[in-house]
Amino acid sequence: MKRIRLRVAYDGTNYSGWQIQPNAPTIEKKLDEAIYALTGENVHVTGASRTDAGVHALGNVAVFDTASSIPADKFTYALNRYLPEDIIIQQSDEVEFDFHPRHCDTRKTYCYSILNTEFGLPKKRNYTWNVPGNIDISKMQEAAEYLVGEHDFKSFCCVRTQTETTVRKIYSLDVDRKGDEILITVTGNGFLYNMVRIIAGTLIQVGKGKFNPEYVKEMLDAKDRTQAGQTAPPQGLTLMKIEYL
C-alpha cells in the first residue's frame, strides 16, 4: 500500500462543492469514480479544502491509499483519462502514511474576482461577481489591513461553522485592480466556513461607502456574524494554492 497526493484544479460551476453529497455531482465523487475506473479499488479521497458549490481551484490537494503498482508520478496522466474536462490532476506524488492534507501546517491562498462593469459579461458570469458603480479600492485596502494578523474571525464565518476555535492568522490581504476586475487575494494558515467570501463581501461594501474602513476592527471585536458585511457569491472565488510548511 502507498499514499498518493494529488494536486487538483477544477472549474466548480457544475458541481455541488467538493464533498460527496447524495444525488449531487461533487469533485470528491468524480475523483473516487476515476480512481475506481483506473484501479478497481473502492477508495475515498481526502481533500485539504472542502470548497463550496460553484467555487473553483487551481491547487486543491487530496490524498488516497492504493495497492496499485502504478508509479506515484504517473497517476496524474492515468487519472486524467477518466476525469471530465473541468477537473484535471496537475501533479501526483507519494507521501508518508501519516500525511493528512487538513492536519498539517499550511499557507492557503485564495483569490476573489469582482467584475466592476455596469453590465456583466456572459463569459465571466461563472468566475466573477459583477458589481457595477464606483468602488474605492484604496478604502478596501485600508480596511483589509485590520484583518491581517491573528484574530478571532467569529464575525467573518457562517453561524453554522463547527470548529474548536475561530482564531485564524492572515499573512497577507491585498486588493488590486486589473482593468475592469478587482482582485482580492488572501493568504492565511486556514479559513473558516465562508470566511473568504464574507471578507470579500465586506470589503466591497467598504469600497461602495457603506462602511468606513476602520469599522472593520469593530466587526472583529464584536465576534458577531451580524456585525460584518454580506457573503459574496461563490463563483468569484478560486483556491489558488496550498503550501505545506
Cell of residue 226, nine digits: 451580524
Cell of residue 98, nine digits: 501519516
| 52 has catalytic annotation | yes
Task: Give percent helix, percent strand, percent coil of the chain, each to the nearest 5.
Answer: 25, 30, 40
Distance CA 232, CA 196 (A): 9
Closest CA to 88 of 77, 80, 98, 97: 80
Q: Which of 32, 52, 105, 176 is catalytic?
A: 52
Mode of pairing for the β-strands spanning 46-47 and 56-66: antiparallel
Q: Classify residue 208 as exposed, middle or buried by CB count within 10 Å of its CB (0-12, 13-18, 19+).
A: middle
- 196: DSSP letter: H
Residue 110 among known ligand-binding residues: yes
Distance CA 114, CA 228 (A): 19
Written as one string, the DSSP assignment of 126-137 is TT-EE--S---H
Measured between alpha carbons, how far apart are the two ends of the chain, in Å? 25
Annotated binding site for substrate: 110
Q: Which residues are designated catalytic?
A: 52
Annotated binding site: 110
